[in-house]
Amino acid sequence: MLQAIGSYLAMGGYAVFVWPAYAVAFVVLGGLALYCRHRYRRSTRSLETLQRQLGPRR
């Protein structure tokens, strides 16, 4: 069992090339997604606060 996992992770000797390629994609895209979501939520919150302050006219 452990051996099977080990040989899978070894990727036929290409582990040092395969895993970093996936890791870079994961980190870059995941980071971008989290950053975009964070900015989106902040902009929504500040717009709602602003609209509340301005009252029901708008």
Partner 1 sequence: MIERFANPARFMRLSATILPWCGWATLGLLAVGLYLALVASPPDYQQGEAVRIMYVHVPAAWLALSVYLLMAVASGTALVARHPLADIAAQSAAPIGAAFTFICLVSGSLWGRPMWGTWWVWDARLTSVLVLFFLYLGYIALVNGFDDPARGAKAGSVLALVGVVNLPIIKFSVDWWNTLHQPASVLRLGAPTIALSMLVPLLVMAAAFWLLFATLLMIRMRTALNERKALALRLNRAPRARPGRTAPVAAGPEASPAVRPALR
| Beta carbon nearer to partner 1, 6 or 12 | 12
Structure tokens at 20: 């970093």
- State how far the Cα of 53 lies from the Cα of 30, in Å rounded to an integer: 35
* Binding pattern for the stretch 13-32 against partner 1, x by CB under 8 A and - elsewhere: xx--xx-xxx-xx--xx--x
**Degrees to nearest 5, angle at CA 19 with 12 and 17:** 65
Q: Kindly list the residues in this chain that would bind partner 1 in the complex (CB under 8 A).
A: 11-14, 17-18, 20-22, 24-25, 28-29, 32-33, 36-37, 39-40, 43-44, 46-47, 50-51, 54, 58
